């Protein structure tokens, strides 16, 4: 699913690293603590017990519904988009889908998606999203358990591999300020409990070891275009 900050472009690089650690350390559960558009969790083998968490309640209501077989409408108009935005609680699952999948750049209600294809024709983003999500991705998300928690509230009872893709420090202004020092301590506490911690970030404290990196062109906004950044995977 289209989602700002998606790890779809690096999933094939970092998933094998994490699955090797999962097996080597006899983990029982794979937890994606910031599941977002599910573009990493959908590639984790179904034989593994999978959990997805996110702080956006509408997104999680969508994933819970998808996991139980829900399918969004095939036709959604621009008027529908803004009506759903203004009445978010009427159907939280649908709000989660429309708010990301049909928004410009996959940004939460960042504006109705519109644009041209290579031939100059209007792109049908509604149809593209339906085919990419409903026909391809959503079947892969069935059987996953989802939760709507703050990262700091996640405390697994079984030995788990926790993958966290937090707001990158110093890159974007967020509505709710992210406390990085508390996050680092939370990671250390979970590590002391025996869990395996992986974090995607540009930089982390020295006790987190960078085990993979790759230069990526990052799409930003309509106005700023794109810039290069070095994606890194850290382990604790």
Q: Do residues 154 and 235 both lie within one domain?
A: yes
Q: How confident is the model over 4-45, as pLDDT tens digits?
A: 888 999 999 999 999 999 999 999 999 999 999 999 999 999
Q: Do residues 19 and 48 both lie within one domain?
A: yes
pLDDT at 136 over 70: yes
- Is the four-CA dihedral 72, 76, 78, 80 of positive or negative sign? negative
Q: Do residues 222 and 191 both lie within one domain?
A: yes
User: Residue length, the chain?
Assistant: 236
How deeply is 219 buried, as exposed, middle or buried, from its count of CB atoms within 10 A (0-12, 13-18, 19+)? Answer: middle
Domain boundary (142, 161, 176) is at: 142
Q: Is residue 7 part of a domain?
A: yes
Q: Do residues 84 and 126 both lie within one domain?
A: yes
The β-bridge partners of 217 are 228
pTM attached to this predicted model: 0.92
Q: Do residues 180 and 230 both lie within one domain?
A: yes
Q: Do residues 154 and 229 both lie within one domain?
A: yes
**Residue span of the structural domain in which 119 resides:** 70-142
The β-bridge partners of 234 are 199, 210
Q: At a CB cut-off of 8 Å and minimum separation 6, what does 125 contact?
A: 102, 113, 114, 115
**Separation CA 24–CA 138 (nearest Å):** 29
Total domains in the fold of the chain: 2
Other residues' Cβ atoms within 10 Å of the Cβ of residue 99: 23
Q: How confident is the model over 91-120, as pLDDT tens digits?
A: 999 999 999 999 999 999 999 998 887 888
């Amino acid at each position: 699913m289209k989602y700002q900050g998606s790890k779809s472009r690096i999933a094939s690089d970092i998933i094998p690293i994490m699955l090797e650690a999962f097996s080597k350390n006899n983990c029982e559960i794979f937890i994606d603590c910031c599941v977002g558009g599910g573009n990493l969790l959908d590639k984790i083998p179904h034989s593994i017990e999978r959990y997805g968490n996110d702080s956006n309640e509408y997104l999680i209501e969508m994933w819970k519904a998808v996991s139980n077989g829900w399918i969004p409408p095939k036709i959604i108009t621009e008027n529908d988009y803004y009506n759903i935005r203004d009445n978010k609680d009427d159907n939280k699952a649908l709000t989660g889908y429309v708010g990301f999948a049909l928004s410009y750049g996959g940004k939460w209600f960042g504006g109705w998606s519109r644009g041209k294809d290579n031939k100059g024709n209007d792109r049908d983003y509604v149809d593209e999203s339906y085919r990419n999500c409903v026909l391809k991705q959503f079947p892969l998300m069935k059987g996953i358990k989802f939760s709507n928690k703050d990262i700091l509230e996640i405390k697994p009872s079984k030995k788990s591999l926790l993958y966290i893709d937090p707001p990158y420090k110093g890159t974007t202004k967020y509505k709710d300020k992210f406390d990085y020092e508390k996050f680092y301590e939370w990671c250390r506490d979970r590590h002391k409990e025996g869990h395996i911690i992986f974090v995607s970030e540009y930089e982390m404290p020295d006790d987190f070891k960078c085990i993979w990196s790759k230069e990526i062109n990052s799409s930003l906004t309509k106005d700023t275009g794109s810039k290069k950044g070095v994606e890194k995977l850290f382990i604790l």
